[in-house]
């Protein structure tokens, strides 16, 4: 079994330097001055533009320019905070995360955690394969909070190894059917940074946001 664990940081290798930003701002300002000059040259001599209008245009340009600079600064800060988050999450590699995500089935029973409302009148575990096709529908006790999926179909035949997703359909007192996510533990293989979001790559290839993980534990010996 391949036990290589990887920490990936997809932040850009370089960020625009201050000189480049200054050149961009200078270019925009020169374009604004060119347009303003053309406006002055082509105005109606009998009805010239008021000086206050020029002042308003200049103030508007300055406001937009400052907003662009602020947005760029906030984007840079967001990347820095995300980088801090990925550094903290690096310690999760090799641990097991409890999360609602597809599970890699290898023939061994899969432990599942469910959170069924107390008012539910019935519950069914629904299993789908990697293509989204339903492969199993199994009634379960609505008072249960944990169960083992043996990896067999309705006829008791073993499922093929692969990625499977789980959900629980519940029936309320009013007859309404609801679908609830099912959590399970999976080994964390890799940490990835996507924009300002720290993502976790699980064994089997499933990728989830770090914020979606509800618990962590060390792998059982």
* pLDDT tens for each residue of 162-184: 999 999 999 887 778 888 889 99
Residue 126 domain flag: yes
3-state secondary structure (DSSP) of residue 51 = helix
Residue count (the chain): 221
Under a CB-based contact definition with an 8 Å cutoff, are residues 99 and 183 in contact?
A: yes
pLDDT one-digit tens code per residue, 179-200: 888 999 999 998 887 777 788 8
Task: Looking at the structure, tell me whether residues 178 and 207 fall in a common domain.
Answer: no
How many whole angstroms from its chain centre is CA 61? Answer: 35
pLDDT at 210: 85
Look up the domain containing 195 and give its range: 7-100+185-221
Task: Looking at the structure, tell me whether residues 190 and 96 fall in a common domain.
Answer: yes
Token pair 């308003």 is at which residue? 56
Q: What pTM was estimated for this model as a whole?
A: 0.57
Task: Looking at the structure, tell me whether residues 96 and 189 fall in a common domain.
Answer: yes
Cβ neighbours of residue 154 closer than 8 Å, sequence gap 6 or more: 136, 137, 138
CA distance 133 to 125: 14
Q: Look at the chain and report how many structural domains it folds into.
A: 2
- Which tokens hold the place of 191? 């940490």
How many whole angstroms from its chain centre is CA 70? Answer: 25
Under a CB-based contact definition with an 8 Å cutoff, are residues 139 and 122 in contact?
A: yes
């Amino acid at each position: 079994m391949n036990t290589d664990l990887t920490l990936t940081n997809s932040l850009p290798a370089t960020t625009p330097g201050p000189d480049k930003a200054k050149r961009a701002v200078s270019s925009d300002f020169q374009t604004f001055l060119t347009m303003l000059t053309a406006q002055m040259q082509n105005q109606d001599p009998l009805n010239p533009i008021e000086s206050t209008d020029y002042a308003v245009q200049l103030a508007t340009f300055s406001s937009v320019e400052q907003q662009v600079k602020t947005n760029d600064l906030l984007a840079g800060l967001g990347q820095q905070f995300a980088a801090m988050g990925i550094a903290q999450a690096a310690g999760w590699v090799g641990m097991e995360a409890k999360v609602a995500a597809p599970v890699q089935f290898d023939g061994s029973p899969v432990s599942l955690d469910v959170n069924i409302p107390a008012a539910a009148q019935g519950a069914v575990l629904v299993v789908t394969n990697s293509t989204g096709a339903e492969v199993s529908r199994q009634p379960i006790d609505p008072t249960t909070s944990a169960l083992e999926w043996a990896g067999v179909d309705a006829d008791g035949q073993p499922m093929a190894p692969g990625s499977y997703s789980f959900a629980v359909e519940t029936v309320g007192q009013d007859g309404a059917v609801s679908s609830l996510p099912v959590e399970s533990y999976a080994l964390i293989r890799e940490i990835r940074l996507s924009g300002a979001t720290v993502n976790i790559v699980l064994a089997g290839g499933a990728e989830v946001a770090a914020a979606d993980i509800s618990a962590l534990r060390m792998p059982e010996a």
